[in-house]
Amino acid sequence: MSENLRFLPYEAVVDASFWYTLCQIKLDVDRLSEAERPLTAATMDPAGLTAFVDYSSFNTLAESSVDLNLKLMKWRLMPSLDLDVIRNHKVLLVGAGTLGCSVARGLMGWGVRHITFIDSGHVSYSNPVRQSLYGFADCGSCSEGPKLKAEAAPDALRAILPCTTSSGVAMTVPMPGHTTEGVKEAAQLHRLIEEHDTVFLLTDSRESRWLPTVIATSMNKLAITAALGYDTYLVIRHGVKSNDSAENKLGCYFCNDVTAPGNSKRDRTLDQQCTVTRPGVSNMAAAIAVELLVSILQHSDRGACKADDETLLGTVPHSVRGFLFQFSHVLPSTPAFSQCIACSPKVIDQYENNRDEFLEKVFNSAIYLEELTGLAELHKASQIADILELSDDESIEEADE
């Protein structure tokens, strides 16, 4: 038996050229670069033969190191944590501004590898301090203009982690009340939402969230909205129908509104069109939005889970409203509104069966949605009730006199 045993010194299985190159990389700091270097390592297989492994790509090392942090969380704290469902999730970010940058970084931290941006803006000099994916060089120079956010944001993600699959689409989201030819862009947005699992609505106007909400509802895709005020924020997950029943569906971002979205930027100067917020609000809202998605993905019903359900990561609220002035937040939950201008059956039916004509009417008329959903009649009824109430008060006063 002893005749079959062989002892081989460790030095004998280390390739000399590999050891020399590795030492040069570690010690010669002045010449250290991010360029790939052809390295060869040697390991011992069970048969006692030397096996050479190619370590030419540091991208693989970076990817495995990032995954290791998440796996340590799973191994030490949460054995039931499903990391694969997070990693394989495809996310569409509508808006590559302050919220979009922060949400993208949070998703990468959780291992999401497929992120697509939609934005039509350019990087301005005021952006880099609040929008973490952009730098001074992206703002342009005398010879080159500013970069499109839809191009700069994916480039930044790949620079952070090369294995990330990220792209950007430079387009304007069609909006109600904005008289533009938006049918072509609507078809492109429809295709993008169809290709992804979850859509984040991270724009800075109410009307720009309408069409993505309609499309996501039509496809029964999960949508998460993050909206900012000066020192407040709202994060809400739009309701998704369960496979068992469509009843008790949670409301969307527009379910608490009784007016159709219009052009909120009309007659505003450029400085008034930007969202003015305390710098920390966007980071707080983005972090909550990302953590909400991860918690939803750990639930067996995914986006159809109830507002009071819990996962191994904790509760899965319908919405989170934060108030930085008081450093507090509340977790309101509302059911879907039957006359909602975005997710009601009448709106979805028109979108699915008469899409182009329906969208043209919405884009060119600020009151069409109110007439379609019955909100216009609701307004008239409330006005009549106010008049009758006022008349009753006057008659009582006259009787007293």
Condensed to tens digits (0 to 9), the pLDDT of residues 1-45 reads: 556 655 554 444 455 566 566 656 555 544 445 555 555 554 555
Q: Are 233 and 280 in contact (CB under 8 A)?
A: no
* pLDDT exceeds 80 at position 369: yes
153 with 39, same domain? no
CB-based contacts of 196, cutoff 8 Å, min separation 6: 90, 91, 92, 114, 116, 221
In a domain, 213, yes or no: yes
In a domain, 92, yes or no: yes
pLDDT at residue 203 in the model? 93
The larger pLDDT score, comparing residue 20 to residue 327, is at 327
For 267-314, write each residue's pLDDT tens digit: 454 444 456 889 999 999 999 999 999 999 999 889 889 888 899 999
Q: Are 297 and 82 in contact (CB under 8 A)?
A: yes
* pLDDT exceeds 80 at position 159: yes
The larger pLDDT score, comparing residue 102 to residue 367, is at 102
* pLDDT exceeds 50 at position 138: yes
pLDDT at residue 144 in the model? 80
In a domain, 62, yes or no: no
pLDDT at residue 179 in the model? 65
155 with 287, same domain? yes
In a domain, 73, yes or no: no
How many separate domains does the chain show? Answer: 3
pLDDT at residue 388 in the model? 46
Q: What is the mean pLDDT of residues 300-329?
A: 92
- Mean pLDDT (the chain) is 81
How far apart are the C-alpha atoms of 106 and 127, rounded to whole Å? 19
Percent of the chain topping pLDDT 70: 73
223 with 113, same domain? yes
112 with 245, same domain? yes
234 with 373, same domain? no
Q: What is the mean pLDDT of residues 68-94?
A: 92
The larger pLDDT score, comparing residue 94 to residue 55, is at 94
In a domain, 76, yes or no: no
Q: What is the mean pLDDT of residues 182-196?
A: 92
101 with 160, same domain? yes
315 with 169, same domain? yes
110 with 223, same domain? yes
pLDDT at residue 272 in the model? 46
Report the run of H or E that residue 54 belongs to, with start and end.
Answer: strand 50-54
CA of residue 222 relative to chain centroid, distance: 10
For 208-246, write each residue's pLDDT tens digit: 999 999 999 999 999 999 999 999 999 999 999 876 555
- Residue 294, domain extent: 83-363
pLDDT at residue 99 in the model? 96
374 with 330, same domain? no
91 with 237, same domain? yes
* pLDDT exceeds 60 at position 168: yes
Percent of the chain topping pLDDT 90: 52
The residues annotated with a catalytic role in the active site are: 274
How far apart are the C-alpha atoms of 265 and 262, rounded to whole Å? 9
pLDDT at residue 375 in the model? 81
In a domain, 50, yes or no: yes
In a domain, 35, yes or no: yes
Q: State which of 40, 56, 72 marks the end of a domain.
A: 56
Report the run of H or E that residue 33 belongs to, with start and end.
Answer: none
CA of residue 116 relative to chain centroid, distance: 9
In a domain, 305, yes or no: yes
**pTM > 0.85:** no
The model's confidence at residue 205, banded by pLDDT at 50, 70 and 90, is confident
101 with 178, same domain? yes
pLDDT at residue 395 in the model? 47
The larger pLDDT score, comparing residue 351 to residue 181, is at 351
CATH value at residue 197: 3.40.50.720
Find the range with the poorest average confidence among 72-81, 121-130, 273-282, 358-367: 273-282
Please count the residues of the chain: 401
186 with 117, same domain? yes
Report the run of H or E that residue 186 belongs to, with start and end.
Answer: helix 183-195
pLDDT at residue 29 in the model? 46
